[in-house]
Amino acid sequence: MVMGNNIEMDVKKLLTPLVKMKNANISMSVKFGEAEEEEDWEPMGPTPKPKVPTLRHWDFKLLERYPPFYMPICDLCCLCTFGKCDLSRGKKGACGLNIKAQQARIVLIACCIGTACHTGHSRHLVHHLIEKLGKDYPINLGNEIEVEAPITRTVMGIRPKTLGDLEKILDYCEEQITHLLSAAHTGQEGDYLDFESKAFHAGMIDDLAREVGDIAQIVAYNMPKGDEDAPLIELGFGCIDKSKPVILCIGHNVVPGSYILEYLEENNMEDDVEVCGICCTAIDISRVSDKAKIVGPLSRQLMFVRSGVADVVVVDEQCIRTDILEEVLKTGAVLIATNEKMCLGLEDVSHLSEDEIIGYLLRNRAALILDEEKVGKVAVEVAKIVAKERKDRKTLPDLNEVVELAKQCTECGWCNRNCPNAFKVKEAMTLAKQGNFDGFVDLYKKCYSCGRCETICPRNLPIVSMTTKVGEAYYKDLKFKIRAGRGPIKDVEIRSVGAPIVFGDIPGVVALVGCSNHPNGEEEVALIAKEFLERKYIVVTSGCAAMSIAMWKDKDGKTLYEKYPGEFRAGGLVNCGSCLSNCHITGAAIKIANIFAKVPLRGNYAEVADYILNKVGAVGVAWGAMSQKAAAIATGVNRWGIPVIVGPHGAKYRRLYLSNGEKFKVKDKKTGEILEIDPVPEHLIVTAENVKECICMIPKLCMRPNDNPKGRANKIYHYVDLYEKYFGKMPPDLEKFVRTEKDIPFMMKDKIMAYLEEKGWKPLEKYPQDPTILY
């Protein structure tokens, strides 16, 4: 470890018993610890540790092509006591802010929340792991991953070697978040484009913080290091053995869950207690041990808790229902909160001994334990006792009771109107009155158990519990397989797919990420994955989306993880891991620039992002994006030059980056010419109304100016084929993306030529061999 400081000082007068000095000028260098210079692995680029305005020039390039498109979800500003201010239709607030800047400000705040969440999470992990393993614990991702931290290399200009190095990165992240968030204060930033540039910066910091967190947990917990054969893990309600004591972990932080697994292993109780999880903790504990099971994504949270299967619920941080305490206590289970970000009003009993805590929990049923090491023993021992107590406890109404409850329904219809997706709850009730559960069966498949229907029901009917009961009774086969999160992509994989991706022979990389706010149930994410796997795209996934993909089986009862390999190659289905692991998806794009194209990474953000924007045919799809973390992730991904499609609820993020779909300008680095090219990728972040539109948009957004004619023809083939499959017609904007006749796929030549003639298409005279927007 090195800690160096240069000291310069002027001394006017110094008197000590040994020295008398006047007007001395002292200059010296002080080093703490063993001197170890950062080796000269690459020349430093122009933007190491960028500050808020450092990459503004790059952001403005992007924003010029993809200007922000605002849909104000609210036309008031309610942030300060000058207001409320009405900003509608050109009015300004008391501070002078207009509605565009206000929307951009809210997006910045959302991105800061998301970024702070990932940074706080990573800080917690790194801090904890340094306490446990020491600052010098090495970061070693194995021989097959030399570019260990592509985002860190590019943004920070360093190669992290130890857990201690990760701390320095987090120092930088926290400093940037403070500046960014302060810009959102009343009377600070006033221009919407600058707010957007700051949101980009927040997104980039989010990416960096996630890389820190995931690398820390991979090395410390020995999670798979780019292992394409990571084990298949059990997933679904049906895989939990209810005859055993059940511990359910919810949230995003692996630390308490890992102690539970460790305690079970040390005491040879692995087969005696079920440890399962919801949301990213689930994915991460299954990266620690293949014995851990995954209940499902966020959307299954309320349903599973209501089902009463869990005896102890351990919550850490993020994506946990804020009424979890109330819900857990209703089932007679015990709740343990383990994180300072979610204390739930509970008494902190961390200072007590483990046995004392067990006693406290059995008396009080819930507590805050901030010493996660104690959670291991406490959760297990309490679960064993509570499981016996709760053996015959019923938490859901039985089917007869569901009918009786349904009979109380007055069919006012407010459940349908309060459902974010207007699902047919009322109709399900009406059918259930007759003992027909078809409506509830359908609802169970789609519902993400937010509970808004219950909140508004004037008869206080437990609609989520009724849905859960019917689901439990009618779906017997809720057992699936998911490949455990494998972490980063190996350098050798990048070497073999770099050229085909850059030239377009692999038609694209589709990253299915994000939350469970799906417009029409989980199955759609799996169907998107299936469509593109069959077409030999590379499909990459993480978090709740990775779980949703697992919750679909083919006619032979196999999930997509069982049917497709876990390699980063055409037709591969790569589960990187939890939300933190999204960094490996952008990391793969960065590594293509570095490993395949030899673009230097060190402090060289804009050049790397420019390479990705123009050459790497990747698109992110967040079909159920819901949280502020998703906003930060998408915005961060956008700054790297990767377009993102969000589902219809994503419109509520209130800002998209849409081009006007006309020709773009780029410079050809080979000839120095400024050329007008086809509009690819057409948008930077855009919504799709339904799954058909999303599927058809993916191949379009995978097109890049650098595609060679064969590659572009391949992409156009999929675009046309999918449009015909889902809309029964040719894509209505195809002429924009055919540069010359060489771009037309051979199999569709006649059809496409006839279409182009009808549209009055003319080929581009020239298109660049080496496109860039940095000029």
Partner 1 sequence: MDERFIAYIPTAGSNVAHAEITSPTLVKMMIRRAKKPILILGENLENDEKELINKLIERYNLKVIKTPEEMNLMAIMKYLANSDYDLALFTGITYYYLAQAATHLKQFSNVITVSIDKYYQPNTIYSFPNLSEDEYLDYLKKLLEG
Using CB under 8 A as the criterion, which residues of the chain lie in contact with partner 1 when the complex forms?
Answer: 69-76, 86, 88-89, 99, 417-422, 519, 648-649, 651-652, 654, 656, 658, 660-661, 686-690, 692-693, 697, 727, 729, 732-733
Looking at the Cβ atoms of 85 and 117, the one nearer to partner 1 is: 85
How many whole angstroms separate alpha carbon 303 and alpha carbon 307? 6
Cβ at position 600, least distance to partner 1 in Å:
37
Q: Which is nearer to partner 1, 235 or 686 (CB)?
A: 686
Contacts (Cβ under 8 Å, ≥6 apart) of 271: none
For partner 1, give the closer residue by CB, 47 or 103: 103
Give the span between the Cα atoms of 117 and 209, in whole angstroms.
9
Yes or no: say if 155 and 583 are a contact pair by the CB < 8 Å rule: no
Phi, psi (rounded to 5 degrees) for 612: -65, -45
Specify whether the CB–CB gap between 623 and 647 falls below 8 A. Answer: yes
DSSP string, 113-180: HHHHHHHHHHHHHHHHHHHHH-TT-B----TT-SS--HHHHHHHS----BHHHHHHHHHHHHHHHHHH
How far is it, in rounded angstroms, from Cα 205 to Cα 151? 10
Which one, 727 or 775, has the nearer CB to partner 1?
A: 727
Choose among 434, 479, 429, 433: nearest CA to 454: 429
**Type and span of the H or E element at 233:** strand 232-235
Give the nearest distance from C-beta 764 to partner 1 in angstroms. Answer: 22
For residue 613, give the 3-state DSSP assignment: helix
Q: Which is nearer to partner 1, 83 or 164 (CB)?
A: 83
Least Å distance between CB 623 and partner 1? Answer: 14
SS3 assignment for 521-572: CCHHHHHHHHHHHHCCCEEEEEHHHHHHHHCCCCCCCCCHHHHCCCCCCCCC
Three-class SS string for 173-209?
HHHHHHHHHHCCCCCCCCCHHHHHHHHHHHHHHHHHH
CB 648 to partner 1: min, Å = 4
In the complex with partner 1, which residue's Cβ is closer, 98 or 740?
98
Q: Nearest distance from residue 713's CB to partner 1, in Å?
A: 24
Give whichever of 76 and 352 is closer to partner 1, judged by the CB atom: 76
Which among 468, 310, 311 has a CA at the least distance from the CA of 396? 468
- Residue 100 CB, nearest distance to partner 1 (Å)? 8
Q: What SS3 state is found at 702?
A: coil
Name the phi and psi angles at 480, rounded to 5: -135, 175
Instruction: Give the nearest distance from C-beta 662 to partner 1 in angstroms.
Output: 11
The secondary structure of the chain in percent helix, strand, coil, rounded to multiples of 5, reads: 45, 15, 40
For residue 654, the minimal CB distance to partner 1 (Å) is: 7
| Coil, helix or strand at residue 438 | helix
Nearest to 535 by CA among 623, 638, 617, 591: 617
Q: Tell which residue, 669, 734, 733, has the closest CA to residue 706.
A: 669
* CB nearer to partner 1: pick between 36 and 86: 86
Please say which residue, 412 or 747, places its beta carbon nearer to partner 1: 412
| Closer to partner 1 by Cβ: residue 79 or 349 | 79
Rounded CA separation 392/285 (Å): 29
| 360, 367 contact by CB (below 8 A) | yes
Residue 155 or 697: the one with the smaller Cβ distance to partner 1 is 697
Name the residue nearer to partner 1 (CB basis): 49 or 652.
652
Q: CB–CB of 493/331 below 8 Å?
A: no
Q: Which residues contact 566 (CB under 8 A, 6 or more apart)?
A: 227, 228, 229, 230, 483, 486, 572, 573, 574, 575
Q: Which is nearer to partner 1, 519 or 521 (CB)?
A: 519
What are the residues facing 292 on neighbouring strands?
none
Taking the complex as a whole, the smallest distance from the CB of residue 110 to partner 1 amounts, in Å, to: 15
- Asked if the bond preceding 681 is cis, omega within 30° of 0, the reply is yes
Closer Cβ to partner 1, 88 or 353, answer by number:
88
Dist CA 7 CA 2 (whole Å): 16
Q: Of 733 and 741, which CB lies nearer to partner 1 in the complex structure? A: 733
Joined tokens for residue 201: 């910066």
Q: Which lies closer to partner 1 via its Cβ, residue 185 or residue 417?
A: 417
Nearer to partner 1, 89 or 598 (CB): 89
C-alpha–C-alpha distance, residues 156 and 153, integer Å = 6
Please choose, from the candidates 386, 395, 397, the residue with its C-alpha nearest in 3D space to the C-alpha of residue 306: 395
- In the numeric block, the tokens 């402090």 are attached to 603
* Least distance between partner 1 and beta carbon 656 (Å): 6
